Amino acid sequence: MVTGVIKNKIDKIWTDIWAGGITNPLTVIEQLTYLMFIRSLDEKELEQEEFDHMTGSTGKRIFPASSTGQSMRWSRFKDRDPREIFDILSQKVFPAIKNMKNGSLPDFSENGEMIELSDPDEAENMEKTAFARYMEDAMFLIPTPQVLQKIITGLEDLYENDISELDMQGDLYEYMLGKLSTAGQNGQFRTPRQIREMMVELLRPTPDDTICDPACGTAGFLVSAAEYIRKNYEETMTTEQWDKFSNETFTGFDTDRTMLRISAMNLMLHSISNPEIDYLDSVSKQNQIKGKYSICLANPPFKGTIDAESINDDLKAVTKTKKTELLFVALFLRMMKKGGRCACIVPDGVLFGSSKAHKSIRQELVENHQLQAVISMPSGVFKPYAGVSTAVLVFIKTDAGGTDQVWFYDMKADGYSLDDKRGEIAENDIPDLIQRFHNMSSETERERTEQSFFVPKQEIVDNGYDLSINKYKKVEYIPVEYPPTSEILDELEQLNEQVTNELGQLRELLKEG
């Protein structure tokens, strides 16, 4: 858990960077991401050296054995003169990371030139890590040696005194991501942690699942799924399952390379060393993935820009539109295996929109697959990014129908205030929602006036596949009886008389004074 002390230390680092002229929160996080990654490389090297010393073996090294290569290690440069640190990072470490392959950094010659691998074929076959793949167009933007030294000192203080476990690193990064208060260039924004965890709890992933977020942003959904699996299966997972967990279980796509760098780092801090994080416009013709994943978790962009000509024909066959919120629902169905499960966030317009494209995607879910739940969320959930009303759709890909009835839940609170500050409050429907979802047998007798209820498929069909909760929820009006008008007038006269008397008493007191 990130305590107040840790938050204050992170805020101090943040302030130092802002004072240096970097005011975009995304850029701040990106620069901190680079430094955290550089430090993590040295930690891995130290662990390998300790292991080699204990076993007498010689494992693979990240840093070259030369003096220049060893000078790039965090532990070797962190206490040097600020100008030296700045030169080492900007001229050596940063360029080396951008060319990192197979987990190793390149070396430099005495005149400062990067040494290429001697065998061109070997260089071509070497693979870059998920993080290193998206470093090629990264820029080192920390302006001065003094600002850099303050950041390094602040990070060292955090790591030395406050961060002792892997989970804490992830929590720290989550707190930093929480400072993103504006949407990205394609309308993507960070989904609140409690909403992500709720959606993961609804699907309950296992170590045998393959999980994808085709609009991953900062990889929050993948991180929440990873945390759930570790929490519930850590003691029983096999070696093969752990290997799959680190390399194959999690896949994310995005069209923003900055987001890809941040998401790869976020996953690395949660023990997922080599996730499948790729640059891909998921709804375009480039994406040919079909029937691959057992779980999809996503909050796709609602106002993404897309070229109509580039949209995958498979998706247009389901819903002919340029609206990304509709195309992504069709995409989930295509990318999942038969029996695959999805929990995704959609704007309310998807639930009741009257266009042919809106109706066709809803009809597809209800008629050809199993739509399990529609969870209506309060409009302030995504503040301060946006005030749009949203819902969570939960469905199973069957290709053979299966929707007999749909469960609706009216979420009114998520444990946080619904204003721009989003402070913690006592009211929280999420535990109740999860408990009800996983005990559907006790939901069948609920009335439409309650917070959750079932609606038969035929009723939804008769309403043009409308999935908005207000279409089916009944409001219970409690009659209020008021006294006769004559009694109200008598009461008003008595009050006026009382006011007149008290004003008279006040005047007498003033005269006496």
Summarize pLDDT for 324-340 with one digit per residue, the tens. Answer: 889 999 999 999 999 99
pLDDT of residue 427: 92
Q: Do 25 and 178 contact (CB within 8 A), yes or no?
A: no
> Any residues with CB less than 8 A from the CB of 129 and at least 6 apart, and which?
100, 103, 264, 273, 274
C-alpha 38: how far from its chain's center?
Answer: 23
Position 77 scores a pLDDT of 95
pLDDT band at 188 (very low <50, low <70, confident <90, very high): very low
Residue 299 has pLDDT above 80, yes or no: yes
Q: How do beta strands 211-213 and 293-298 pair?
A: parallel
- pLDDT for 506 beyond 90: no
Kindly state the average pLDDT of the residues 258-282: 82
Q: Is the pLDDT higher at 151 or at 26?
A: 151
Instruction: Tell me what pLDDT residue 386 has.
Output: 67
Q: pLDDT digit string (tens) for 457-500?
A: 999 999 999 999 999 998 776 777 778 888 888 888 899 989 99
HSE at residue 213, side-chain half, CA atoms within 13 A, is 35
Record the pTM.
0.79
pLDDT value of residue 129: 63
Q: What is the DSSP string of 208-252?
A: T--EEETT-TTTHHHHHHHHHHHHHHTTT--HHHHHHHHHTSEEE
What does each C-alpha distance from 208 to 128, 216, 344, 406 come to in angstroms? 26, 21, 21, 28
What confidence score (pLDDT) does residue 4 get?
Answer: 78
What does the CA dihedral 69, 70, 74, 77 come to, rounded to 10 degrees? -100
Mean pLDDT of 304-322: 81
Contact between residue 242 and residue 234 where contact means Cβ atoms under 8 Å apart:
no
Average pLDDT, the chain: 86
Kind and range of the H or E run holding 278: strand 276-279
Q: Quick check: 189 pLDDT over 60?
A: no
pLDDT at 441: 92
**Per mean pLDDT, which range of 293-297, 348-352, 442-446, 503-507 is the poorest?**
503-507
Q: Tell me the per-residue pLDDT of 127-184, one tens digit each, with 9 for 90 and over.
A: 566 666 777 777 889 999 999 999 999 999 888 877 655 455 666 777 777 776 544 4
pLDDT-based confidence at residue 121 (cuts at 50, 70, 90) = very low
pLDDT-wise least confident of 111-120, 201-210, 240-249: 111-120
- At 184 the pLDDT is 45
Mean pLDDT throughout 346-358?
A: 93
The answer to whether the Cα torsion of 355, 358, 361, 365 is positive or negative is negative
**Is the pLDDT assigned to residue 404 strictly greater than 90?**
yes
User: Residue 379 corresponds to which tokens in the numbers above?
Assistant: 């409009």
- Torsion angle, alpha carbons of 160, 162, 166, 167, to 10: -170
pLDDT above 70: residue 363: yes
DSSP state of 62: S
One-letter amino acid at 380 equals: G
> Which residue blocks in 234-323 are alpha helix, DSSP H?
239-247, 257-268, 313-318
pLDDT class for 371, splitting at 50, 70, 90? very high
DSSP 392-429: EEEEE--SS---SEEEEEE---EEE-SSSS--EEEEE-
In this prediction, residue 403 carries a pLDDT of 95
Whether the per-residue pLDDT at 186 is higher than 50: the answer is no
> Can you give the pLDDT at residue 111?
80
Q: How far apart are CA 76 and CA 469, in angstroms?
A: 60
Summarised one tens digit per residue, pLDDT across range 32-79 is 888 988 888 898 889 888 888 888 888 788 899 899 999 999 999 999
Q: What is the mean predicted confidence (pLDDT) over 280-304?
A: 88
Task: Give the tokens for residue 314.
Answer: 């498979």
DSSP 136: T
Can you give the pLDDT at residue 117? 54
Residue 351 has a pLDDT of 95
Look at residue 338 and give its three-state secondary structure: strand
Cα dihedral 96, 280, 177, 47 sign: negative
Q: How confident is the model at residue 123 (pLDDT cuts 50, 70, 90)?
A: very low
